[in-house]
Amino acid sequence: MGSGGDRPRFIVDSMLGDLARWLRILGYDTLYYRNAPDPRIVKVALEQGRIIVTRDRGLAILARKRGARYVLVRGERIEEVLAEVAAATGIALYADPSRSRCPLCNGPLRHVNRHEVKDRVPPEVYARYEDFWVCTRCGQVYWRGSHWRMIEETLAKARQLVDRVAERMKSPRLRLAVEKSER
């Protein structure tokens, strides 16, 4: 939790809302605008030092022209896309809820005394789980429910793909994206 220090921060294009939620779960400050024009995304990235993640070659070209850092992703499945971002930027594909941000609003989460959320979660959930987190921005309550296993399985698959994806990124078409990201 906390400000995140020099951890990379991201802004993802409107086609990658799913990725935005995953990057937040991984603890990376990630903006996602549903309908922002490309120049606005590039402007915010430059102003705030964010890495653009996009599927859109047009946006990637504009980012390159203006000197913004970007990753152009091609994968279809979320584990492929996560692996591409990790290969290009070096982010760690491990989720730790005490470092996560709210997948809904990007707010930092706070680990709370479970009594604080007693009236805000179903009784069976309250009885079963010890650890709860609350979004400091929107108030959403989180716990490591049954979906957490799916999250960890997906991340494990993504980690297995990173080396292969990194190899593929050595192709001339993608090298530039990687170099920009490492600047």
Give contact residues for Zn ion (rule: CB under 5 A). Answer: 102, 104-105, 107, 135, 137-138, 140
Q: Give, as one character, the DSSP assignment of residue 146.
A: T
Smallest separation, CB 29 to Zn ion (Å): 13
Q: Structure tokens of 106?
A: 């990007």
Q: Which is nearer to Zn ion, 72 or 134 (CB)?
A: 134
What is the number of other CB atoms lying within 10 angstroms of the CB of residue 6? 7
Q: What string of DSSP letters covers 45-100?
A: HHHHTPEEEES-HHHHHHHHHHT--EEE---SSHHHHHHHHHHHH-------TTT-
Q: Which is nearer to Zn ion, 29 or 79 (CB)?
A: 29
Do strands 30-32 and 10-12 pair parallel, antiparallel, or not at all (unpaired)?
parallel
Which helix (H) or strand (E) segment holds residue 10: the answer is strand 10-12
Q: Which is nearer to Zn ion, 89 or 136 (CB)?
A: 136
Q: Which is nearer to Zn ion, 21 or 180 (CB)?
A: 21
Q: Which is nearer to Zn ion, 75 or 107 (CB)?
A: 107
Smallest separation, CB 106 to Zn ion (Å): 7
What spatial distance separates the first Cα and last Cα of the chain, rounded to whole Å? Answer: 26
Smallest separation, CB 39 to Zn ion (Å): 28
Q: Structure tokens of 118?
A: 């007693």
What is the number of other CB atoms lying within 10 angstroms of the CB of residue 120? 13
